[in-house]
Chain A
């Protein structure tokens, strides 16, 4: 122990203990693209194989065309009915986005209330859990009775379905704050609001974001189910029409568009996540697109 040099303390020497290789900035763009490719070729290959099976089944007419149309027929329908499909896609997308955003705002607000107020937590949290058990799809007809055939019941249903994962993840995130950080904040004389804004909320973001990713895919389900029950617009409505006419190509085209809405919105939330919490994403070391 006595061996340490005594002259050390004088000058502000650069950090001696294990300097990090790169203080900031991650891998280069090229290596990123490469790792993206490495991550995504497998699912892409599986998808391609499934597509090939579909094409083969339709081509050999192993299943009648009115049950499984060929990819070509689906593409033709999509091209022919494109303006109509686009309009309905837009309606469903709008319902989904509005429902999702409302669910996110209401869910986070509810979570803050639950975390900061013992009374609210004790009286409301069990009810929120209980409400989650009610089959939302069974509520849809009631919503139609209440709100009519417009966008409102679809949005409400999307909110109801997407709300739960947001609340649960936000509550978990807000609660997971390190108590030492709160003590530190107290020694700085910080107000509750500043502590929330600068410590608690950013610390809750990683968990909140994963809740939002679940919520956005559920919001699509809510909107479509709402359209099933009673609508004159939207992809859910088109699906019912196509089903009534035994129009398999249109059914498939519609289904593809619905899935696309989900995928695109999911990726958007993921991009948002990477913008909001790069510090967290960087620790995962890998591009999260692997989860898409």
Chain B
């Protein structure tokens, strides 16, 4: 990955667009929610291009419409204005060529770990045996071995998110969309999940878009960090710290490129935030 040092690059994607077609292309997207009394602008003229193999993190304060943006990319909500293209095709309804990980793990509480993961295969009508092999592989990859039959309420929050991640990856999607998947976890579990996420990204080559409001998570995971303003959500800046893809956790957090980007991100979020 050609990395520019320095935390800020306005249009990183555009700079690299020469070598690949964007896999996700959002242009001039606006989303308004209208109720009887009022109109809220959740997203205002957002444009974003994601290239194959990128890990884009979208960081912003709560309520800036970043989850809405993700749901629009997935076709779960429609845009008021603007265009979304996934694999070059316009998004007009729910997209099935993706993996989606939800804020809460969205597991079926009556199914054990393995059967929750295999739901993906059942819904898609995938080949049963291949799906089972893949599920077992993912269970091993995420350290869930030994818990195949455990029900969601018997698992910790971190393990539940691992199951949701396996389910989202079962059909080997080229694009993985993640909506604050680790937001509900304690700090330590979250770090572990971040480390695993970085490894899974490297090993699978999946294109990932992850929404978060955690500064270290956004910088540690992202090859590119898109920063959004509070409502109405706009993209204020894109950071490209230029860290290597393979990131050891401790050294990365001490890396000057990381600290510079994290500081810049904190400034950007803090400028629009009440002091905590």
Residues of A within 8 A of B (CB): 1-10, 12-20, 22-24, 178, 180-181, 183-190, 194-195, 198-199, 202-203, 277, 279-280, 282-283
Contacts and interface: CB of A to CB of B under 8 A. Distances in A.
A16 to B, nearest CB: 7
A273 to B, nearest CB: 13
A189 B124 CA distance: 6
A187 to B, nearest CB: 4
20 contacts: A2-B253, A8-B192, A9-B249, A12-B141, A15-B143, A15-B156, A15-B159, A17-B159, A17-B192, A178-B106, A180-B103, A180-B104, A183-B94, A185-B123, A187-B99, A189-B123, A190-B123, A279-B109, A279-B110, A279-B151
A187 B178 CA distance: 12
Contacts of B140: 12
B32 interface: no
Contacts of A282: 151
B126 to A, nearest CB: 10
Interface stretch (B55-63, B194-202, B227-235, B263-271): B194-202
B156 A18 contact: yes
B22 interface: no
Nearest to B77: A183
Given A20-B150, A187-B76, A194-B122, A13 B94 contact: no
Interface residues of B, number: 58
A23 B146 contact: yes
Nearest to A189: B96
Interface string B62-79: 000000000100111000
Report which residue of A16, A185, A277 has the largest number of chain B beta carbons within 10 angstroms of its beta carbon.
A16
B7 interface: no
Interface of B: 71, 74-76, 94-96, 98-100, 102-104, 106, 108-110, 112, 119-120, 122-124, 140-147, 149-151, 153-159, 162, 187-189, 191-192, 195-196, 198-199, 216, 248-251, 253-254
Contacts of B253: 1-2
Nearest to A188: B123
B106 A3 contact: no
Contact of A12 (B119, B143, B154): B143
B110 A180 contact: no
A203 B141 CA distance: 29
Contacts of B199: 9-10
